[in-house]
Chains A and B, each alone.
Chain A
Amino acid sequence: MDEKTARLATQRLFRQLTALGLLALPASCFADEPSKWHFNGFGTLSYTNTSKYDDRIIRRNVNQSGAAVQDNGFLLDSRLGLQAKWNISDRLELTAQAVAREQLDTELLDYVDMFYLSYFIDDQWRFSVGRQAFDLFFMSDYHNTGYSYAWVRPPTEFYGTMPYQSFDGIKISRDWGDFDSSWRWRLSLGNIESKFDADVMVESDDIDSTEAKPIFSTELGWQSGQWHLRGSFAHMRFKHELGDETEREALQMLSDEISPFWQDFSGIVNEFTEDFILRIWSLGASWEQDDWHVQGEWSNVDSDIITFDGQRAYLQVAKRWQNWQPFITVGYAKDDSEVRYGPPPPGVPVLTEFYEEMVNFSHNMRHNQKSISLGVRWDFASQKALKLQCDRYYFDAWSGSIHGRVDFRYPNDEIRSWCTASFDWVF
């Protein structure tokens, strides 16, 4: 990552922020008009010492360019979001939300997280169509709004590995209950496209694109008194982007030639060429009593291929004293994925080398790590907060992470830490 690239990334972010600022002008122009339009927004300005290490970077999620973040500490968590809501009628509502942030997808539409039409069928049922939040976890649909939670960013072990912000499709939801408790059920169906840097290397230029089509998810939530519980399940069919038909045919020919004396080779080829299914189960609980807030989530990721298979979890505890809210978070990720293909027969160095690379790649895609974060939030003014957070990560050997290294191998356990200061607000 050279200075020019870093400068371009910064310019790109500021162009997006300017564009969003211009889009926000109508909000202030119409602020005093009686209207069914509502304009609101949120922002985070943050700085992290991302260049602290030459060989390891911190990223918020896999959608970010590690190199860009490493060279500019403002890019990791800074973002600006705008929301427009139009109450067309008592039963019809249009919601649009765009967020400027550092990410690999740079087309204008890639910054649009929500653009959907909701129809309220009755007092409980709602049908929505368009681009919407993909509700997998507690904070999936508001993870960009830093003001809405105590910590600087959602725990990266849990939230960082999901390459999707939203999906295009339909959502059916039902909300019901009484004054003692309320229930929420949601069903989503659609498809998702995204770019992400799965190679998790600082110097990597190997940006992957994925398309999950179709995706299906369902969520059930219950809220009563101090408790909020939720569970969800998602089923996604991923499509590999593997060049054109010629490349596919060439790979197939190679597989046909090698498989007779190395049977596992065709399985390895399929890992990287065939569609595969990813399944995610998650459970979450949140408890709020007086000034205490405790929240935890657990998820299990399971797939047909070796690179996604494991559990993630986190637990957060926060306590408020007046305008101050210190907090602690522990995060955990453990992938069970093991290479299930045997090595090639001896005597063919090129295949042996290929196999070693494949094993490295598989290890690289694991996320075996733990973390502890300590921080404090200071609500110094109405709808404005300052936060300071330090994260300490414990990376296991032979495991990758979204916080990637400059090289491809992870032979040793590592401990790394970063600190972040942020200013969050809503308007």
Chain B
Amino acid sequence: MLVRLTLLCLLLLPFGPSADVGQSSYWVVVVNQQSGLTQLSQKQVMSLFLGRAQFLPSGPRAKTFDYPIGSAMRANFYLSLTGKNIADIDAYWARLRYSGRASPPEALDSVEQIIETVSKEKGALSYLPANYAKGLADKGLVAVLTMRSL
């Protein structure tokens, strides 16, 4: 038994955790300019990103966009937003996805893609690192919540 357990652990060692971490000092939650929103509470943002609320307070159906699975930015944002380890968030979405109830936010590859996508969809919602906080209006975005990074 012990030999088998040891072998199993050795086989899995190459999957060691990533060393990089999110660098942003705070996060800016952004929505499309046409959403009719100027601010959201942290509780509202949490409900939207966890799929518990389906609509923005102003009416449109919410569509959340996220960074790739495994990215340090994503892990830090959810820690800042919910206080939870990203593994708990991933487990939470696994519960929803494999029970057929809901799908997690769509993942996009870069900050630029996030900005472009949110600026095109009325109900879109996502988050940006601090160094992208300036000039949002020019990009068709509105910052609705600023949140300190943990």
Contacts and interface: CB of A to CB of B under 8 A. Distances in A.
Interface of A: 38, 40, 42, 45, 47, 49, 81, 83, 85, 95, 97, 114, 116, 123, 132-133, 141-142, 144-145, 147-149, 175, 177-180, 182, 223, 290-291, 320, 322-323, 325, 379-386, 388, 419, 421, 423, 426
Contact of B12 (A47, A133, A322, A386): A386
Interface size band for B: 35 or more
23 contacts: A40-B98, A42-B94, A81-B98, A133-B100, A141-B101, A145-B94, A145-B98, A148-B94, A149-B91, A149-B95, A175-B54, A178-B53, A182-B53, A323-B17, A323-B87, A379-B85, A380-B12, A381-B18, A382-B18, A384-B12, A384-B15, A388-B5, A421-B9
A85 B103 contact: yes
Interface of B: 1, 4-5, 8-9, 12, 15-18, 41, 43-44, 47, 52-55, 57, 61, 69-70, 83-88, 90-92, 94-95, 97-101, 103
Contacts, number: 113
Given A47-B4, A179-B43, A381-B17, A145 B86 contact: no
A421 B8 CA distance: 8
Given A38-B103, A133-B100, A323 B85 contact: yes
B62 to A, nearest CB: 11
Given A142-B99, A179-B43, A426-B94, A385 B8 contact: no
A396 to B, nearest CB: 28
Given A47-B4, A147-B94, A320-B85, A179 B100 contact: no
Nearest to A379: B87
A38 B97 CA distance: 11
Nearest to A139: B95
Contacts of B90: 147, 382-383, 426
Nearest to B99: A141
Contact of A423 (B8, B57, B83): B8
A322 B85 contact: yes
Contact of B100 (A95, A290, A322, A386): A95
A199 B50 CA distance: 44
Contacts of B47: 179, 182
